[in-house]
Structure 1
Amino acid sequence: MPDITHKLPPEAADFLSQYPDTAAVDAILADLSGVVRGKRYPIAELGKVLQSGFAIPGSVFMLDTQGESHDPDGIGFSDGDPDYLVKVIPGSLKPVPWAQRPLAQVMVTLEQADGTPYYYEPRNVLRRTVEKLNGLGLRPVVAFELEFYLIDRDRLPGGAPQPPISPATGRRDEGTQVYGMKTLDAFAEILDDMTRACAIQDVPTGAVTAEYAAGQFEINLEHVDDPLQAADDCVLFKRIIQGVAQKHGLQATFMAKPYLERAGSGMHMHVSLLDKTGGNVFDGGAAIASDTLRHAIGGVLEVLPESMTFLAPNVNSYRRFLPDIFVPTQRSWGFENRSVALRIPAGGGDARRIEHRIAGADANPYLALATLLAGIHKGIAEKTDPGPPWDGNASETYDETLPFRPRRAIERLTETCGLADYFGADYLRAYAACKEKELDRFESQISPLEYNWFLQAD
Structure 2
Amino acid sequence: MARTPATKLAAAKKNATTTSTAEFDAFLKRYPKTSEVDVFVHDMNGFLRGKRFPVGEARKIWESGVEMPRCLLFLDPTGDDLDPGGRSEAMGDPDGTARPIPGRLAPVPWADHPTAQVLLQMHDPFIKGESNAGNPSKYCPRAALQGTLARLEKLGVIPMVAVELEFYLLDPARDAGGTPMPPKNPVTGLVETSKQPYSMDDLDAYATFIRRAAHHAEAQGIPASAAITEYSPGQFEINLKHQPDAVAACDNAVLLKRCIKGTARELGYNATFMSKPFLHAAGSGMHVHVSLIDKAGKNLFGETGAKGEALLRHAIGGLQATMAESMAIFGANPNASRRYVAGNNVPMSPEWGHNNRTVAFRIPAGGNKARRIEHRVAGADANPYLAMAAILAGIAYGIENEIDPGKPAETGDFKRPADPRIPFKFAPALAHLAKAKILPQYIEKECLDLYVDARLAELEKFYDAISPREYDWYL
Question: Which of 361, 377, 382 is the equivalent residue of 2:380?
Answer: 361
2 CA distance for matches of 1:424 and 1:105? Answer: 28
Matched, 1:218 2:237: yes
Looking at structure 1, the residues matched to 439 and 69 of structure 2 have their Cα atoms a distance apart, in angstroms, of 26
Instruction: Name the SS of the counterpart of 2:300 in structure 1.
Output: coil
Aligned positions of 1:57-68 closer than 5 A: 57-68=69-80
Segment of structure 1 superposing worse, 259-268 or 15-24:
15-24
Secondary structure, aligned partner of 1:175: coil
Contact 2:138-2:446 at 8 Å conserved across structures: no
Q: Which residue of structure 1 lines up, in the alignment, with residue 4 of structure 2?
A: none
Give the structure 1 partner of residue 63 of structure 2.
51
- The 5 A counterparts of 1:237-386 are 237-286=256-305, 290-386=309-405
Q: Give the structure 1 partner of residue 424 of structure 2.
A: 404
Q: Distance in 1 between matches of 2:281 and 2:114?
A: 38
Q: How far is 1:360 from its partner?
A: 0.5
Instruction: Kindly provide the CA deviation profile for residues 71-95 of structure 1, in whole angstroms up to 9, marking residues without a partner as x.
Output: 1121111111222222111111100
Higher alpha-carbon deviation: 412-421 or 24-33: 412-421
> What corresponds to 2:8 in structure 1?
none
Name the CA distance, whole Å, in 1 between partners of 2:401 and 2:307.
21
- Which stretch has the larger CA shift, 100-109 or 235-244? 100-109
Of residues 103, 110, 119 in structure 2, which corresponds to 1:98? 110
The 2-side partners of 1:13 and 1:429 are apart by: 40
Q: Does 1:21 align with 2:33?
A: yes
1:179 maps to which of 190, 198, 201: 198
The equivalent residue for 1:426 is 446
Greater shift, 310-319 or 77-86, is seen at 77-86
In the TM superposition, residue 276 of structure 1 has moved relative to its aligned partner by: 2.4
CA contact (8 A) 1:70 1:437 kept: yes
Alignment of 1:71-110 (within 5 A): 71-110=83-122
Q: Distance in 2 between matches of 1:146 and 1:409?
A: 23
**1:170 Cα shift?**
1.4
CA distance change for structure 1 residues 424 and 13 in 2, over 3 Å: closer, same or farther? Answer: closer
- Name the CA shift for 1:175/1:277 in 2 (closer, same or farther; >3 Å): closer
How far apart are the structure 2 equivalents of 1:9 and 1:433? 38
Q: Shift of the alpha carbon at 1:410?
A: 0.4
Relative to the length of structure 1, the TM-score reads: 0.95
Tell me if the contact between 2:24 and 2:105 (Cα under 8 Å) persists in the aligned partners: yes
SS in structure 1 opposite 2:442?
Answer: helix
Tell me, yes or no, if the aligned pair for 1:281 and 1:290 is still in contact at 8 Å: no
Give the counterpart letter for 2:217 in structure 1: C
Task: Decide whether the 8 Å contact of 2:277 with 2:283 is kept in 1.
Answer: yes
Rounded Cα–Cα distance in structure 1 between residues aligned with 2:441 and 2:363: 27
Separation in structure 1 between the aligned mates of residue 292 and residue 143 of structure 2, nearest angstrom: 20
RMSD across aligned positions (CA)? 1.5
Contact 1:330/1:394 (8 A) holds in 2 = no
Question: Does residue 1:417 correspond to 2:417, yes or no?
Answer: no
Residues 140-163 of structure 1: CA distance to partner in whole angstroms, max 9, x if unpaired?
111000111001001011211111
Quick one: distance in 1 between partners of 2:270 and 2:324? 33
Over 6 Å off, 4+ runs:
none
Aligned residue pairs total 448
Of the three residues 192, 209, 218, the one matched with 2:228 is 209
1:111 aligns with 2:130: no
- State the alpha-carbon separation in 2 of the partners of residues 295 and 84 from structure 1: 40
Q: Residue 452 of structure 1 aligns with which residue?
A: 472
Aligned letter for 1:442?
F
- The one of 252, 256, 273 aligned to 1:233: 252
The CA distance in 2 between the partners of 1:102 and 1:224, in whole Å, is 30
The alpha-carbon deviation at position 286 of structure 1 amounts to 4.8
Q: Is the 8 A contact 1:299 1:380 kept in 2?
A: yes
Classify the secondary structure of the residue corresponding to 1:174. Answer: coil
SS at match of 1:91: strand
Give structure 1 stretches of 5+ with no counterpart: 1-7
> Contact 1:415/1:425 (CA < 8 Å) preserved in 2?
no
Measured in 2, the distance between the counterparts of 1:281 and 1:209 equals: 30
Equivalent in 163, 172, 181 of residue 162 of structure 1:
181
Is the partner of 2:102 in helix, strand or coil?
Answer: coil
> Does the 8 Å contact 1:329/1:394 carry over to 2?
no
What letter matches 2:315 in structure 1?
Answer: A
Whether the 8 Å CA contact 1:414–1:420 is kept in 2: the answer is no
TM, length-normalised to structure 2: 0.92
Preserved contact between residue 111 and residue 118 of structure 1 (Cα < 8 Å) = yes
Deviation (angstroms), 1:10: 3.6
Instruction: State the secondary structure of the residue aligned to 1:413.
Output: helix
Note if 1:12 corresponds to 2:31.
Answer: no
Q: Is the 8 A contact 1:208 1:219 kept in 2?
A: yes
**Aligned to 1:39, which of 47, 51, 54?**
51
Distance in 1 separating the partners of 2:99 and 2:115 = 19
Measure how far apart 1:322 and its partner are. Answer: 1.8
Question: Which residue of structure 1 aligns with residue 16 of structure 2?
Answer: none
Give the CA deviation at 1:116. 2.3
Q: Is the 8 A contact 2:318 2:403 kept in 1?
A: yes
Paired with 1:414 and 1:164, the residues of 2 have a C-alpha distance of 40
